[in-house]
Structure 1
């Protein structure tokens, strides 16, 4: 199934890594949800996937049917259920994700700031911009070097 570059994207980041068993179960739950996800009775062209064992990415191509407040609420309910089942936080925007030695790590804002301060995170460190809104942005601006990210505006003075 191909999706328009303008498809809507939501990125939810866990505060801890999911195990491979958890990823399989979560992916099954997400697949079951997107297969029956509707907006005002119209089936949504959607997919959801777990990426790097940390991120749940939901994509909706609105060419056939647009997302509504009720359909977004339905997706949030599924994510809240995942949060409770796996004891994770998917909605804390102050958790920062980055790659260190090729692996994804997540820290709270204070710990992230410390890592920037002690130069464990530098201008070339890959960070995740979970504020992307379209598939095109996700594909080109989700994983970016620190120096080209919004993080840079917050923490550049520490570099």
Structure 2
């Protein structure tokens, strides 16, 4: 099984920032271990907004310590780039096929009330935990995501 962790930025990242993050994560995943075992880790940066870490647990299991290492690294990236990657109250959604917007919880509620966001608006379910769930349930209509329980 492949485990996935998604970290969403509070703003779009520049091409230079994506390159910096890519270099940092590339160095990290090649030496990422759990109790001395090399993890089959990888990363992806999507839409200049999402940092996605993945580990194939068929090769070695992730541990709390190895997860802590990745979180510590992402917090360093936050500081270095003056960006937030851990604010779960920032909601990303598609305004159009080509435009992804990030809104705070209060603003997102206002957008729903104004009809600018509705049940069929595509949101990003960053709570997915496996590669299969990521493929099937990451970009979904609001009505099919955890967001519906909170906002509808």
Decide: shared fold, TM above 0.5: yes
Q: How far off is 1:124 after superposition?
A: 1.5
* Distance of 2:145 and 2:49 partners within structure 1: 19
**Of residues 127, 131, 138 in structure 1, which corresponds to 2:134?**
138
Match of 2:57 in 1: 62
| Partner SS, residue 81 of structure 1 | helix
Structure 2 unaligned residues grouped into runs of 5+: none
CA contact (8 A) 1:126 1:146 kept: yes
Q: How far off is 1:110 after superposition?
A: 0.2
Worse-matched range after superposition: 147-156 or 58-67: 147-156
Match of 1:51 in 2: 46
Structure 1 unaligned residues grouped into runs of 5+: 1-5
Please report the TM-score for the alignment, with normalisation by the length of structure 1. Answer: 0.92
Match of 1:90 in 2: 85
Worse-matched range after superposition: 89-98 or 145-154: 145-154
Q: How far off is 1:101 after superposition?
A: 1.8
Answering whether residue 9 of structure 2 is matched by residue 14 of structure 1, we say: yes
Answering whether residue 151 of structure 2 is matched by residue 120 of structure 1, we say: no
Q: How far off is 1:104 after superposition?
A: 1.2
Match of 1:3 in 2: none
Answering whether residue 125 of structure 2 is matched by residue 129 of structure 1, we say: yes
Q: How far off is 1:150 after superposition?
A: 1.3
Count of aligned residue pairs for this structure pair: 151
* Distance of 1:76 and 1:62 partners within structure 2: 18
